[in-house]
């Protein structure tokens, strides 16, 4: 057999032959191949006729089958990009969403002009929001809470990998419960809490089936976590400090009402790239 022909041998798997197999869209197969082989995307092109080792092939086939069964790509590769940072993720944490980058941008805008701001992130999960803010504001001190010890392990590991561990303090806490009473007040409180209504059909579809249920729903009307977060915020904020929460596509008016009833000023919602009111916040007077 001459070089170049081995691609046609049915018994030898190559990147090219695997990408021709049915089952997954080629971009997803490429992500898995790049992960399994440890090759950057360019090498998937330049080395696409190289015979693959049987062990490598077996690992790829196993991940491929799990993806076909619906597992999110981020759990299969163990990482996800968020706000330009590579975060480790596991099934203990919600996979960071692109729309949550809006919350980070809005928080950073509200911190402009404040020196050495103190930031509180409630329900930090992978640490995405806390770490993105800490990375963008090298003078910020961030406290990040989560009720789940497994999520905090992931968040701490991310802080370490990103070299941010000295400026982000992690705490196991059910919202504000474990925050010391004498903790200095914050410039901003941010949160992407569980806000999906109990029993919502989305919980049993797509990626959400594999994500931690407690990070997605409050097992109630979708506003239970948001109520607790808004109610506890004024006593933890500096005067003129901000509260900023992500919420569901249909919840903006209700969260604005909660903020107004709690005495916040400048209460407003912002739209994500899809045009959906995705965050709501206000200023403590």
C-alpha 143/C-alpha 120 separation (Å) is 5
Of the residues 6, 49, 97, 219, which one makes contact with ligand GLN according to CB under 6 A: 97
Part of the chain binding ligand GLN (CB under 6 A), chosen from 27-35, 49-57, 188-196, 254-262: 188-196
Say if residue 55 is exposed, middle or buried (CB neighbours under 10 Å; 0-12, 13-18, 19+): exposed
Would you put residue 123 in left (φ > 0), alpha (ψ -120 to 50) or beta? Answer: left
Q: Least distance (Å) from ligand GLN to the CB of residue 193?
A: 6
Q: Least distance (Å) from ligand GLN to the CB of residue 279?
A: 11
CA atoms within 13 A on the CB side of 103: 29
Binding map of ligand GLN across residues 194-213, x = CB under 6 A, - = no contact: xxx-----------x-----
Part of the chain binding ligand GLN (CB under 6 A), chosen from 49-57, 147-155, 171-179, 193-201: 193-201
Binding map of ligand GLN across residues 76-95, x = CB under 6 A, - = no contact: ------------------x-
Number of residues that bind ligand GLN (CB under 6 A): 9
Kindly state the helix (H) or strand (E) to which residue 29 belongs, with its residue range. helix 26-37
Consult the annotation and say whether 192 binds a ligand: yes
Judged by CB, which is closer to ligand GLN: 65, or 253?
253
C-alpha 64/C-alpha 271 separation (Å) is 36
For 58-76, b/e burial (b = at least 16 CB within 10 A) is ebbeebbebbeeebbbbbb
Q: Bridge partners of 220?
A: none
Consult the annotation and say whether 240 binds a ligand: no
By CB under 6 A, tell whether 192 contacts ligand GLN. yes
Judged by CB, which is closer to ligand GLN: 141, or 191?
191
Part of the chain binding ligand GLN (CB under 6 A), chosen from 11-19, 44-52, 61-69, 187-195: 187-195
C-alpha 94/C-alpha 83 separation (Å) is 15
Consult the annotation and say whether 275 binds a ligand: no
Residues that bind ligand GLN in the complex, under the rule CB under 6 A:
94, 97, 192-196, 208, 216
């Amino acid at each position: 057999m001459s070089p170049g022909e081995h691609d046609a041998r049915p018994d030898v798997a190559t990147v090219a032959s695997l990408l021709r197999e049915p089952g997954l869209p080629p971009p997803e197969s490429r992500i898995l191949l790049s992960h399994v082989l440890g090759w950057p995307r360019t090498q998937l092109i330049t080395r696409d006729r190289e015979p693959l080792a049987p062990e490598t092939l077996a690992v790829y086939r196993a991940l491929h089958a799990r993806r076909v069964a619906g597992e999110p790509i981020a759990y299969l590769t163990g990482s996800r990009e968020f706000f330009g940072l590579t975060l480790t993720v596991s099934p203990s944490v919600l996979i960071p969403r692109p729309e949550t980058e809006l919350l980070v941008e809005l928080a950073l805008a509200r911190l402009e002009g404040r020196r050495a701001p103190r930031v509180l992130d409630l329900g930090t999960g992978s640490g995405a929001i806390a770490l993105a803010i800490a990375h963008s504001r090298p003078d910020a001190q961030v406290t990040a809470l989560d009720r789940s010890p497994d999520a905090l392990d992931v968040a701490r590991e991310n802080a370490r990998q990103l070299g941010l561990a000295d400026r982000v303090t992690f705490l196991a806490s059910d919202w504000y419960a474990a925050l010391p009473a004498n903790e200095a007040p914050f410039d901003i409180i941010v949160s992407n809490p569980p806000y999906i209504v109990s029993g919502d059909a989305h919980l049993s579809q797509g990626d959400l089936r594999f994500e931690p249920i407690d990070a997605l729903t409050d097992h109630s009307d979708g506003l239970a976590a948001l109520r607790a977060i808004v109610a506890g915020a004024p006593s933890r904020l500096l005067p003129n400090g901000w509260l900023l929460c992500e919420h569901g596509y249909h919840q903006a008016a209700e969260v604005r009402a909660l903020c107004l009833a709690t005495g916040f000023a400048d209460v407003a919602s912002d739209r994500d790239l899809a045009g959906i009111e995705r965050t709501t916040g206000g200023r403590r007077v």
